[in-house]
Amino acid sequence: LSNYISALVAPRDIYAEHWPADCHVIGKDIIWFHAVIWPAMLLSTGYPLPRQIYAHGFILDKDGRKMSKHLGNVVDPQDVLKEYSVDVLRYYFLRVFSSGEDGCFSLVDLARRYESELGNDLGNLVLRVAKLIQSRLGGTVRTAGHAPDLDAAPVAREYFERVDAREHHRALEALWAYVRRANAYLNDRHPWKMPDGPDLERVLANGLEALRAIAHLASPAMPRAARSIAESLGFEIGTTASILDPPPGGAAYRVKLCAPLFPRREKGRGDAAAAGPPAAPPKPAAPQAPPKDPFARLELRVGLIEEVREHPDADKLYAMTLDLGSAKRSICAGLRAHLRADELRGRKVLVLANLKPAVLRGVESAGMILATDRKDGKVVPVDPGEAAIGDLAAVEGIASAPDPQVSIKDFEKAPLQIQAGKVTYQGKPLQTPRGPVLCDAEDGARVR
């Protein structure tokens, strides 16, 4: 422990520059030593304490298990960096792992987020704005110093609040909502169809100013990508707080086209890389593997209900849009008689994500929200608690190996029921990386 101080004194004295630490980052399994023993040592010798201690969780595998050589599920970060940049890996950990909690690392989820969030959401936005300013405005645009139609100040304030609370995943959630809002802004106004004139210039100026704010707020997570955006759009990266203080009188920017920020990758590598080198072919006399547990075939993911609409042709159904982390889903659920739309909107639920899609009276439903019937007649969705969007729910001792698609009959072969307020399978609780899946229902109630 004393190395934290002695390393700042010899061979070169840099103690005054670096101590006390603004934030001492440690693993959650050594809190006792760093929050009790180490402060006691410092106080006894007259040294100041770190201003803050931040304890992070563990990196688990895609199924929520600890990584170990025995299980063969270790992922070498150097192998991942052969396919992705350091910026991408930094973004993934900060975006997906809830602050202070364990998190599941999945190469499949990383590939999906790389393509959808980084490539499609951010990369295409930068390329589209740069190309339009080049082709329609001759490569130069003057802005007001902020985007009146895309005010970034509220986003920045929420971002700073989340960062100050060390809730980095929520800070990036707020930023990415703004990235999607900027994309929607361009899609609604169709600047590629607009005639030359002040309206076109205003829309593209707003797009550039939105990206200036995005680049500044993204720079702590992705410094290289932020600098590339700035280089393409003709501005410099300053402090993140500088976006709240726009230059008086606005500014003119000279735009140039640069290489795509997040170029397309080969498909099909995914989580197979996590298994390491291919296993040797089985011996002819090897015994046949036991049949897969019915629960292992299910893909139970945490989702966030974003939109709730009444089904146009079914009185008992809601037609909803859910965010499952890697994709949006349209799902119909028979909850209209039990919960209001505003009680569902913004709620986390557990979804059978690999249920075979069906069309229910003209509306596609790709998944099923898990719920249970209470004795008072109410139907209540199960509660994944503090789990992050996209987290997988698993049961100890059963390795998750979801089928591409399952039927309702397949789901019923793995009966789930409530015990002591928890959702269980064969007496064992369903767990996400953040804790058990809960439900406010009586013991013995079936989950469907």
Q: What's the pLDDT tens digit per position in 194-244?
A: 999 999 999 999 999 999 999 999 999 999 999 999 999 999 998 887 777
Q: Measure the CA–CA gap between 320 and 311, rounded to whole angstroms.
A: 9
Distances (CA, A) of 313 to 310, 322, 339: 9, 20, 18
- Is the per-residue pLDDT at 280 higher than 70? no
Structure confidence at residue 273 (pLDDT): 45
Question: The pTM is what?
Answer: 0.60
Structure confidence at residue 5 (pLDDT): 86
117 phi, psi to nearest 5 deg: -80, -45
Percent over 90 (pLDDT), the chain: 55
Structure confidence at residue 132 (pLDDT): 95
Structure confidence at residue 279 (pLDDT): 44
